[in-house]
């Protein structure tokens, strides 16, 4: 296997783009159902018809097959809607309707409206059923050694249910509803890499977002082809030479301190978790390592790492 950097982007940002010729795009979009909440006339996510079918006749939900829309009809505020969503999902988990629900996390993700208001919370494992935008933090930890940048690269535990044994960014995690990106980063840095809170608070630097539209495959576990549009808040952290990240839980097997060439080779070999490869590409571009001189698809990659998602975001 030898993947180009654009191949890596295509693997993770897999939903088609509306082009000047928009027929392919429209044909693709029209395969799905929109998720909406009552009173808001825009889509919050795209759902597979096979998923929508399971909501047919379920209280608090209405399906408009002509317009291809699933509407959450219950509730007039976030709390009421969240309760209705939870009730539905708990019942579906009970009846074993969806494989993804067997990985119930007990963590809530936020779904926002066009005015950035919270519309409802949804159990993390269920979010790809609805195809709503989810939010995470990814940190690249690096060290200068002998005049070269070295990147701390963890390998995920082989026993991890999703992307087991694949390479990751130094710290990565989902943002729970109500948590700020930076507080999420501080928490995850301690949990996953044993990085001291004070170091992260004083030295981690926000560097933008990486956004993409993932379509889930087998490696993600559960149903495939579910939509997962994501926003990753990216951070850089330059570590002193004597600071070594250590697995803080059982999710990481080992941390490697790799040269840029070693990271790039592992990327070409498809060893990185798909979205982590994108965060690594963003790092390499921002730090002048990937340039228009050495990367044929520089312009396209720089755009694709920052996809404008078609649903409201925070």
Q: Could you list the residues that contact a second copy (CB under 8 A)?
A: 17-22, 25-26, 29, 34, 42-43, 116, 180-182, 205-209, 211, 231, 233, 285-288, 291-293, 296, 298-300, 302-311, 313-314
- Nearest residue to 200 (alpha-carbon basis) of 184, 213, 189, 214: 189
Please state the separation of Cα 149 from the chain's center in Å. Answer: 26
Q: Least separation, in Å, of the C-beta of 256 and a second copy?
A: 25
Q: What whole-number distance in Å separates Cα of residue 153 and Cα of residue 140?
A: 8
Q: Least separation, in Å, of the C-beta of 199 and a second copy?
A: 15
Closest to a second copy by CB, 40 or 104: 40
3-state secondary structure of 293: coil
Q: Least separation, in Å, of the C-beta of 115 and a second copy?
A: 11
128-161 burial, b at 16+ Cβ within 10 Å, e below that, comes to bbbbbbbbbbbbbbbbeeeeebbbbbbbbbeebe
Closest to a second copy by CB, 130 or 255: 130
Closest to a second copy by CB, 90 or 206: 206
> In the chain, where does DSSP find H-type helix?
5-12, 23-29, 49-52, 78-94, 127-130, 181-193, 197-203, 260-268, 274-286, 298-304
Closest to a second copy by CB, 192 or 295: 295
Q: Least separation, in Å, of the C-beta of 20 and a second copy?
A: 4
Q: Least separation, in Å, of the C-beta of 12 and a second copy?
A: 15
Closest to a second copy by CB, 86 or 238: 238
Q: What whole-number distance in Å separates Cα of residue 199 and Cα of residue 237?
A: 9
């Amino acid at each position: 296997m030898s993947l180009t950097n654009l191949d890596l982007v295509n693997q993770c940002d897999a939903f088609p783009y509306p082009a000047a010729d928009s027929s392919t795009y429209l044909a693709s979009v029209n395969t799905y159902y929109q998720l909406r909440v009552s009173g808001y006339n825009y889509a919050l996510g795209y759902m597979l018809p096979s998923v929508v079918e399971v909501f047919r006749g379920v209280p608090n939900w209405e399906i408009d097959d002509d317009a291809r829309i699933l509407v959450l009809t219950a509730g007039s505020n976030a709390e009421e809607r969240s309760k209705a969503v939870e009730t539905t999902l708990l019942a579906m988990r009970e009846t074993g309707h969806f494989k993804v629900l067997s990985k119930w996390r007990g963590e809530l993700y936020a779904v926002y409206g066009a005015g950035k208001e919270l519309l409802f919370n949804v159990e993390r494992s269920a979010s790809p059923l609805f195809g709503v935008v989810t939010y995470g933090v990814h940190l690249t930890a690096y060290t200068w050694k002998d005049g070269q940048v070295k990147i701390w690269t963890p390998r995920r535990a082989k026993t991890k249910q999703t992307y087991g044994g694949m390479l990751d960014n130094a710290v990565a995690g989902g943002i729970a509803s109500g948590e700020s990106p930076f507080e999420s980063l501080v928490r995850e840095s301690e949990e996953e890499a044993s990085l001291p809170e004070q170091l992260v608070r004083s030295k981690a630097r926000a560097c933008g977002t990486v956004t993409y539209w993932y379509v889930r495959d087998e490696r993600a576990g559960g149903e495939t082809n579910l939509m997962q549009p994501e926003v990753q808040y990216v951070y850089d952290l330059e570590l002193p030479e004597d600071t070594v990240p250590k697995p803080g839980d059982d999710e990481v097997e080992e941390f490697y301190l790799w040269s840029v060439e070693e990271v790039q080779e592992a990327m070409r070999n498809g060893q990185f978790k798909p979205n982590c490869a994108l965060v690594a590409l963003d790092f390499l571009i921002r730090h002048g390592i990937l340039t228009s001189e050495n990367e044929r698809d520089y312009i396209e990659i720089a755009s694709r790492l920052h996809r404008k998602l078609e649903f409201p975001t925070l």
